[in-house]
Amino acid sequence: MRLALISTPFVAVPPSTYGGTELVISELARGLRRAGHQVTVFATGDSEDPGVRWIYERAVWPPDARAEQLHGRAAALEVARGQYDLVHAHSPGFLAFASILPVPLVYTLHHVHDDALLRAYSAHPAVQFVAISARQAQLSPGLAAHVVHHGLDPEAFPAGRGDGGALFIGRLSWCKGPDVAVEAARRAGMELVVAGPVHAEPGDPPGWAAEVDRLLALPGVRRIGAVGGERKQRLLGSARALLMPIRWEEPFGLVMIEAMLSGTPVIAFPRGAAPEVVEHGVTGFLVNDAAEMGEALRRVGEIDREACRRRASQRFSTSRMIRDYLRVYHAALSASRRPLGLATEEQRHVR
């Protein structure tokens, strides 16, 4: 198939540090190409994807609605010229151009529940929607959506020894719970490495930025800023455990599978997709508060790191994600009465 993947204009593909959506798009593009498909990614000019199409030379940050509109319009106009069999969009602004597309459209929801977006989705009944977790789909009532968990290349995450302390990776917002991670690590008497950018959000309590600065200056806490690439992989592999004390309905949490693919257990609050991703006692622990998280940190040696890594590779590989998305693509083609008859060929390529 000739496929167009529509990324955002806000982060390069793949991202250098922060950018879970764009990392998934990069993996999806590589996996589909390995499966024998022709893939064009519409992203930004600083992306490393081969043959990327772009109108913005560099990522636009902070996110700008006008930039998203122009980026989507340029991609839609190219698709409308008839060079593609299917479009897979990851940017909500692109849906505004669904009516001019001559081919089926698949759209993946990467965001938390949003009433305004759900109302907009209802205007596009022909689109095949994909939720990235069953919990995300549950929180989107009235929207018929496939569920496809994210996947990554297990070979990109070498097994680590887990000889370091606890690790928190994520934006330093209240909803992510970095303060809980600090308390849990201190309860366990374990060093905590905190990696992530400061990211103020409307839901942060008053004085949150100052409180984060105070907590991250405490003894036993090492703040290192945003990380990506090989440095992030080394951090994940060396950590005793990844802490995910989330206070929100996180749609997926890609860093959880990055950790587990490195053999590092995840200790998470049972919010959002965490109960779907973390298998209690196998790839980590699900806990309810800082006290339980500290106790789980003391017990984390009970998790077999190699078994954790094997299980994550079975459930969250790129190849599994590709198989799932190919089923969605064929559903979209069938619904539009444009079957390509490529199922047998694809099954030969993707196992």
The secondary structure of residue 11, as a DSSP letter, is: S
Whether 146 and 288 map to the same domain: the answer is: no
- Which amino acid is it at 38? Q
**pTM beyond 0.75:** yes
User: Distance of alpha carbon 213 from its chain centroid, rounded?
Assistant: 27
Domains identified in the chain, total number: 2
Which tokens go with 26? 């990069």
Average pLDDT of the segment spanning 250-277: 97
Which spans in 200-342 are helix H? 208-216, 229-238, 254-261, 274-277, 290-299, 305-315, 318-335
Instruction: Note down the domain range covering 122.
Output: 2-152+317-349
Whether 121 and 217 map to the same domain: the answer is: no
Specify the range with the lowest mean pLDDT, choosing from 7-16, 169-178, 291-300, 333-342.
333-342
Q: What percent of the chain shows pLDDT beyond 90?
A: 84
Q: Per-residue pLDDT tens for 75-93?
A: 999 999 988 999 999 999 9
- Count the neighbouring beta carbons within 10 Å of the beta carbon of residue 123: 11
Whether 177 and 248 map to the same domain: the answer is: yes
Inter-residue contact 268 to 246 (CB < 8 Å): yes
Reply yes or no on whether the pLDDT at 117 is more than 80.
Answer: yes
List the CATH number of the domain containing 168.
3.40.50.2000
What is the full DSSP assignment across 140-152?
STT--EEE----B
Whether 305 and 220 map to the same domain: the answer is: yes
Whether 180 and 255 map to the same domain: the answer is: yes
Whether 100 and 206 map to the same domain: the answer is: no
Whether 172 and 309 map to the same domain: the answer is: yes
Whether 89 and 180 map to the same domain: the answer is: no
Inter-residue contact 103 to 84 (CB < 8 Å): yes
Whether 159 and 74 map to the same domain: the answer is: no
Residue 312's pLDDT band (cuts 50, 70, 90): very high
Specify the range with the lowest mean pLDDT, choosing from 69-73, 163-167, 196-200.
196-200
Residue 292's pLDDT band (cuts 50, 70, 90): very high
- Residue 338: the pLDDT is 56
Reply yes or no on whether the pLDDT at 347 is more than 70.
Answer: no
